[in-house]
Homo-oligomer: A and B are copies of this chain.
Amino acid sequence: MVERKKASRAGVTTTPSEGRPEKRLFHEYLRRKGLKRTAQRDLILETFLESEKHITSEALYRKVRERDPSVGFATVYRTLKLLTECGIARSMQLGDRYTHYEQGFDKQHHDHLICIECGGITEFFSQQLENIQAEVVRRHGFRMVDHSLRIWGVCRMCQRRRAS
């Protein structure tokens, strides 16, 4: 971390994490909880922010190891838990055996289309859907705390690939 403006590595097409509000938020969260800011936690957050929108703990662990091979997976899991607690990450089950994480700070609720061929994940939001859900919940006298709609199928690209 000495060079400034270091050339982006081959194939890294992700968002830079410079000045992201998540960093400040995380450090504040740590302070508030009497926890400590460490190089590992910073590295894990940074790697998470610069990753694709949806990532598994395992994949994040591998990415982190590329930058610092000494980091253990326990630390990644523990940090991911912290990130989830303070709203920077959101965890979800997509049907495989992994827990997936997505960036959750400052993002409105949304649902997911999951391609069973390529594993690709498409986010979508429908206010109509939200309204009807709220109505269903109300009708049953529930107090809603969370909800998750997942739709599995074959995406446009994979349908084409199949046809050919």
How many copies the complex holds: the figure is 2
CB distance from A111 to the nearest CB of B (A): 8
Which one of B140, B145, B154 lies within 8 Å of A152 (CB-CB)? B145
A132 at the interface (CB under 8 A from B): yes
Q: Let me know if B144 and A136 touch, CB within 8 A.
A: no
CB distance from A66 to the nearest CB of B (A): 31
Q: Let me know if A153 and B143 touch, CB within 8 A.
A: yes
A-B contact pairs, 16 of them (CB 8 A): A113-B136, A115-B142, A124-B136, A126-B136, A129-B133, A129-B136, A142-B151, A142-B155, A142-B156, A144-B153, A145-B152, A146-B152, A147-B150, A147-B151, A148-B148, A148-B149
